[in-house]
Copies of this chain bind each other. A is one copy, B any other.
């Protein structure tokens, strides 16, 4: 797909020429300042900074296209950067290259209240979109906690607290504008609510973490603001009761909008950080959306299940400010965890299992933690079977890094053995690359062949999602013996 660049088809990487060409085209919006490069070389997790050679503050899809074409000609890697709020090292420039900061692509292109959809540029953050929507009766429901950019959320297939009811970015993105590895620009999907016309490129780019193309514009389905919203907090005598409440709620088909678990360690951290006074116990944070009657019906159903499992009393939050306070504390959980130990960083993990295995997975993980030397609050979007640990470590201490790696590894392998996934929502980045084959087997070879087809020079976010070794042409995973199929 890629045509030979000005330096010839087999040109080696020429960083100097690439940077000169980029500087000539973009002037002062190309930065090689150490502080800017460092800021674009890491996310909010423990992953060490790997700064790019330069950062481009782009403003339009055309600029991204031009920059990628220059990089392709000189074989310089390209990494898309949104808000830097991810957790698996996806923006680290492991082999240098150009980081394209998309925060300047910040236009809300259009909102259609009649069609419940909108189109935004990649740098628009979810809170800015929701502020913009305030008087329309619509909202953008995907809420990963961080005020991430919509482009970054699409690239990592983000989800979060509302996904149990409203789905993930997989379900919410209707179409994309994507800059390909050679600078070409395509549009995928469309504005119809469904389509059977051709391959689903939209879903292929959603979750591809900048390794197949750079997402510059996103068309999204929006949801109507519900007539009634009620939030609640419910502590439990033990974590098993909290998890069983979640499982029965989901199995009964109660359309909860949010059902979040915080273990007692996380609640203690939240109380300290957000100055709340929740009872220090495994706790569910819930929210119900619908007509007043529907909300009452749902809340009653869940309260009955919780009571049977040692939960209660419910503390209700009805007014908008009360609900905002409740969810602010939930959203600060990551920072609250890290603040348990001054100077520490977070090693976040993220797995998702079939709901029937959630209690087993959580209880076995709690047993691991009880026997460990490190502290690791647990928090999760448990209605989806998805939960996280934030392992609080000093990354300068090899013993703590090793212990975090051991705990995370056990958790991921446990989830996979239970029919789950190595990442419910954080993505693969560099942190989970090692597990992709354990999860997907021979299907990884198909992912690699798609990577080679769309990025033959391997310039888009190298080292993320797929190991370099997995992408090399000619690599072929042998078919499994017939008995294992």
Whether B443 lies near A188 (C-beta < 8 A) is: yes
A352's contact among B184, B193, B385, by CB below 8 Å, is which?
A: B193
A480 at the interface (CB under 8 A from B): yes
Residue of B nearest to A477 (CB): B184
A353 at the interface (CB under 8 A from B): yes
Known: A204-B204, A443-B186. A1 touches B476 (CB 8 A): yes
Stretch at the interface among A120-128, A332-340, A390-398, A423-431: A423-431
Whether A420 lies near B191 (C-beta < 8 A) is: yes
Q: Separation in Å of the A142 CB from the closest CB of chain B?
A: 11
Identical chains in the assembly = 2
Chain B contacts for A420, CB-based, 8 A? 190-192
Chain B contacts for A319, CB-based, 8 A? none
**C-alpha gap A452/B197 in the complex (Å):** 18
Q: Separation in Å of the A292 CB from the closest CB of chain B?
A: 10
A130 at the interface (CB under 8 A from B): no
**C-alpha gap A168/B436 in the complex (Å):** 27
A 188-226 to B, binary, CB cutoff 8 A, 1 in contact else 0: 101111111111110110111000100000000001101
Whether A436 lies near B163 (C-beta < 8 A) is: no
**C-alpha gap A65/B115 in the complex (Å):** 44
Stretch at the interface among A32-40, A153-161, A262-270, A400-408: A153-161
Whether A450 lies near B447 (C-beta < 8 A) is: no
Chain B contacts for A465, CB-based, 8 A? 198-199
**C-alpha gap A293/B291 in the complex (Å):** 11
A 409-453 to B, binary, CB cutoff 8 A, 1 in contact else 0: 000000100011111111110001001100111111111011011
Within 8 A of B (CB), among A147-181: 156-159, 163, 167-168, 170-171, 177, 180
Whether A352 lies near B294 (C-beta < 8 A) is: no
**C-alpha gap A436/B201 in the complex (Å):** 13
A367 at the interface (CB under 8 A from B): no
Q: Separation in Å of the A454 CB from the closest CB of chain B?
A: 7
A341 at the interface (CB under 8 A from B): no
Known: A192-B421, A297-B293. A447 touches B197 (CB 8 A): no
A275 at the interface (CB under 8 A from B): no
A31 at the interface (CB under 8 A from B): no
A195's contact among B116, B208, B423, by CB below 8 Å, is which?
A: B423
Residue of B nearest to A200 (CB): B203
**C-alpha gap A450/B115 in the complex (Å):** 32
A117 at the interface (CB under 8 A from B): yes
**C-alpha gap A206/B419 in the complex (Å):** 21
Q: Separation in Å of the A426 CB from the closest CB of chain B?
A: 6
Whether B197 lies near A224 (C-beta < 8 A) is: no
A386 at the interface (CB under 8 A from B): yes
Which residue, of A297, A355, A446, has the highest number of chain B Cβ atoms within 10 A?
Answer: A446
Known: A201-B447, A203-B204, A442-B184. A116 touches B192 (CB 8 A): no
15 further contact pairs, Cβ within 8 A, besides A112-B354, A114-B354, A452-B453: A1-B445, A184-B442, A186-B445, A187-B442, A191-B419, A192-B354, A193-B354, A197-B421, A197-B428, A199-B207, A200-B206, A200-B207, A294-B294, A450-B450, A453-B453
Q: List 19 A-B contacts (CB under 8 A).
A: A113-B251, A158-B196, A177-B485, A185-B442, A192-B384, A192-B420, A194-B384, A194-B421, A195-B352, A196-B350, A197-B427, A198-B428, A198-B444, A198-B465, A198-B466, A200-B204, A224-B252, A293-B293, A294-B297
A residues sitting closer than 8 Å to B (CB atoms) are 1, 3, 61-62, 65, 112-117, 156-159, 163, 167-168, 170-171, 177, 180, 183-188, 190-201, 203-204, 206-208, 212, 223-224, 226, 247, 250-253, 291, 293-294, 297, 350, 352-356, 384-386, 415, 419-428, 432, 435-436, 439-447, 449-450, 452-454, 465-466, 476, 479-480, 482, 485
